[in-house]
Amino acid sequence: MESSTPHESYNLNIQTPVGDLRASVAVPTGFIPITDIIPLMRSLGEQAHQLATDNTTQAGDTISCRKGCAACCRMMIPVSPPEAMALLAVVEALPSAKKERLLERFQAAQRTLRNAGLEDGLKRLAFSEDQGTDEELEPLNRAYYALQMPCPFLEDEICSIYEQRPSACRELLVTSPAELCQDLIQNPIQLIPSPFRIGTVLSKLWRDCYQGPVRLIPLPYALDWATVYKSQYTRTWSGPELLSRALDAAAEYLQRQSP
């Protein structure tokens, strides 16, 4: 968003399970696609997660996550539809040689999943109307993690798109010893609970804007999904309207998390 574009500013006060999130935000008054709201919503999510982190550290715990510790980059990362579209735009803007190498890693990941018998289940998540329950997805999550397959965006154990990484990646922080993360299934990992999962909020926003299901796409198939549906999702909204819809989706999410 260019600074010369007229913006409208808002002061937000969002009640989360870990405290009130107060933030000042600005959106363009003109028309924007749904992907343009992602940075703002991620910022809100990160501020909410910081509240949870502050509560944790004040209680005497220490965050174990450090640069180069990429155990979580071998988990099945869920990507919301707007984020999938944004990732496709990031990849399409890469220099041709780097783009080709990255796409080869995506293809290699899909071959690994196909050979492990996980492709059908993961494609159902990406393209089917029925996402299944968390309980139904847990065996798929475990089987995926057992492969220890690195994320296609991982290079030398460092995220190559760190600033554009999906929301789910931003919400994974642990206080348990870092070495335990080498086996997240067998070891008792202590996660900082995320009070505000922006990927799910963005999926709810997608549902509201396009009348589709609340969908989370496994990252190895995110580019495929975005490529298939790219031409169908060119609609724009005024910045204030899109922000209002996004905040409604956030309120719905937080209400469902309330005891």
Give the integer Cα–Cα distance in Å for 110 and 147.
12
Give the integer Cα–Cα distance in Å for 233 and 226.
9
At residue 4 the predicted structure's pLDDT band, cuts being 50, 70 and 90, is low
Which SS3 state, helix, strand or coil, does residue 195 take?
A: coil
- Within 10 angstroms of residue 129's Cβ, the number of other Cβ atoms is 8
Give the integer Cα–Cα distance in Å for 184 and 72.
8
**CA distances, 257 to each of 48, 56, 105, 203, 253 (Å):** 14, 19, 36, 16, 7
**What is the value of pTM for the model shown?**
0.91
At residue 1 the predicted structure's pLDDT band, cuts being 50, 70 and 90, is very low
Contacts of 4 (CB under 8 A, 6+ apart): none
What was the pLDDT predicted at 258? Answer: 64
Range of weakest confidence among 49-58, 132-141, 162-171, 212-221: 132-141
Measured at the CA of 103, the angle between CA 132 and CA 40, to 5 degrees, comes to 60
Q: What is the mean pLDDT of residues 47-74?
A: 82
Q: What is the mean pLDDT of residues 71-80?
A: 90
User: End-to-end CA distance of the chain, in Å?
Assistant: 38
Q: 96: buried, middle or exposed (CB in 10 Å: 19+, 13-18, 0-12)?
A: exposed
CA proximity to 25, closest of 176, 251, 243, 250: 243
Give the integer Cα–Cα distance in Å for 100 and 98.
5
What was the pLDDT predicted at 235? Answer: 93
**pLDDT above 70 as % of the chain:** 97
181 versus 94: the higher-pLDDT residue is: 94
Is residue 122 within 8 Å of residue 219, measured between CB atoms? Answer: no
pLDDT per residue as tens digits for the range 97-117: 999 999 999 999 999 999 999
